[in-house]
Amino acid sequence: MNIYKIVLQLFVLVFFLLSCNNSVDKPKLETQKINFGIVIHGGAGNMTKDNFSEIQILEYINKLNEALETGYSILENGESSIDAVEQTIIIMENSPLFNAGKGAVFTANGINELDAAIMDGSSLNAGSVAGITTVKNPIKLARAIMEKSEHVMMVGKGAEIFAKKTDLEIVDPSYFRTDARWESLQKTIKNEKEKNISALNSNVDNKFGTVGCVALDKNGNLAAGTSTGGMTNKKYGRVGDVPIIGAGTYANNNTAALSATGHGEFFIRNVVAHDISALIEYKNMSLENAANEVIMKKLAKQKGDGGVIGIDKQANITLTFNTTGMFRGFKTSDGKSEVKIFGN
Ligand code: ASP
């Protein structure tokens, strides 16, 4: 009889403990739902479907999807947003479709000068590089500058010496050349002469293709990166907004990760990425409203063409542009995903 009593008491005790455990665990699981996500762009511009053949559109969509999936699976595996941003951008730098790495636009001197930046929102650490001609993946060099040097920004020959020192792949400058970008340079030069306007204001369809990526990882860390050849026919060692931290690239865990594309001079003057971050930080604006305020109101008024992608700590995203198109895509852990080129 005693044995039965003891067994019964034990049974009641185990049942009690199990139900306590459950009631503690359940709400914990709900509040621990982890959000993560990635947003990419491949440049903004006043482009329409007529600028592209069906095959070209398909090529862009496929490459954007490949980049997006690469970054998303890194995040899904629990790796860092910095890794996701770097690897995603490498896919686009290696593709001749975009104005970054292979396929970059030409300067007035007929060479490809590349700019890139990366930023870690958890530490505000950043690395950027401008005017390089021989480093296969400028985004890797930006990351090496962030992690392996005490500096934030390096340019030209010095940056290339540092790239060799950190064992990055060096290529002959001709690696970056594509016939399409060469033809664009010739068209732009002709257009400039005929219409007597600056290349930066010319409407030749050669200005698209800067690439960018922002991501939020499972640990709640934000990161942003951008890479570009700049603008066709750029002169005198011109550097755009991309490698200027706060202009074309910015990430802060307290606000958002942002990567811009467009007419760089406007993005520098308006310190666009940081301006959006500041509106979130000091005015408590949502990411979407802040991006809207800067891109659709402030920049549009100045005729500063371009757009921005962003993601915040809750995996809210924005893809905002005041042009007719932007190569873009996103994928978030709530199951939403999209890749688009034209319209809104
Ligand atoms: N923002 C880049 C630059 O001015 C160009 C672009 O995004 O298309 O260098």
Q: What domain range includes position 281?
A: 37-342
Inside any domain, residue 108: yes
Mean pLDDT score, 135-139: 99
Residue 214 falls inside a structural domain? yes
242 lines ligand 1 (CB under 6 A): yes
Is there a domain that residue 284 lies in?
A: yes
CB–CB of 264/250 below 8 Å? Answer: no
- Residue 321 included in any domain: yes
Q: What residues are labeled active site?
A: 210
Structural domain contains residue 21: no
User: Does residue 238 sit within a domain?
Assistant: yes
Strands of 211-216's sheet, edge to edge? Answer: 153-155, 125-132, 114-120, 222-228, 211-216, 37-45, 325-332, 337-342
Which residue's CA is minimally distant from atom 7 of ligand 1? 261
Query: CA-based angle 54:56:60, to the nearest 5?
Result: 120
- Please check whether residue 8 lies inside any domain of the structure: no
Q: Which residues of 174-207 are buried (b: 16+ CB within 10 A; e: fewer)?
A: eebbbeebeebbebbbebbeeeeeebbebebbbb
Within a domain: residue 1? Answer: no
Side chain identity at residue 271, one-letter code? V
Per-residue pLDDT, averaged over 108-137, amounts to 98
Distance from the CA of 318 to the center of ligand 1, in angstroms? 19
Q: And the tokens for 314?
A: 């809750």
Q: How far apart are CA 117 and CA 212, in angstroms?
A: 9
Please give the tally of structural domains in the chain. Answer: 1
Enter the pTM of the model. Answer: 0.89
Amino acid identity at 206: N
Q: How many residues are given for the chain?
A: 344
State whether the beta carbon of 326 lies less than 6 angstroms from ligand 1: no
Mutation pick for ligand 1 pocket among 208, 210, 249, 250 (CB with most ligand atoms within 8 Å):
210
At 37-65, the pLDDT tens digits run: 999 999 999 988 998 999 999 999 999 99
- The SS3 of residue 77 is coil
Domain of 317, CATH number, reads 3.60.20.30
Is the pLDDT score of 209 beyond 80? yes
Alpha carbon 302 to chain centroid distance?
A: 24
